[in-house]
Amino acid sequence: MKVLFDTSLLVAAMVEGHPTHGMALPWLQRVKAKLDAGLVAAHTLAELYAILTRLPLNPHIPPALALQLIQSNVLDTCEVVALSKEDYVTLLSHLVNLGIAGGAVYDALLLHAAWKSGVDQVVTLNAADFRGVYPALADKIISPLEDQPTGLKAQIP
């Protein structure tokens, strides 16, 4: 199954102290175990780095560790989907047609990458927000708060 992760899912899966870590981690573990194919939008890499380096944790995640976490949990295991100029133009037209403005544009970027890639599922902690900005993918948007993957036989370190 092709699964696109958003930033919220990745942060929760990678940060042990996150309140939804236990629900998010199995999704990333499935990709590491090659049970699913993981994808992320290119924009997610920058957003993930920004969040990891600013989380109010003690100890703080320094930039070098954030990059190491991204490398081992995302870049080594997931396909990165970049959008072209034409993709951005198509996306902006989509947003205009739906009357969507503001911060929802960033959710739409990830969902357009999902649409472009033909994913089977988009996994996010913000499912309700995502469904509103890309109705064509609404049935593929799921949350670990609502759904859990099946078939993971063991914990993967």
Tens digit of each residue's pLDDT (9 = 90 or more) over 83-101: 999 999 999 999 999 999 9
Type of residue found at 9: L
pLDDT at 23: 95
Which CATH number, 3.90.320.10, 3.40.710.10, 3.40.190.10, 3.40.50.1010, labels domain 2-142? 3.40.50.1010
Q: What pTM value is reported for the model?
A: 0.90
pLDDT at 153: 40
pLDDT at 29: 97
Three-state DSSP state, 79: strand
pLDDT tens track for 141-156 = 999 988 766 554 434 3
What is the DSSP pairing of strand 37-41 with strand 78-81? parallel
CA distances from 68 to 74, 91, 115 (A): 10, 31, 28
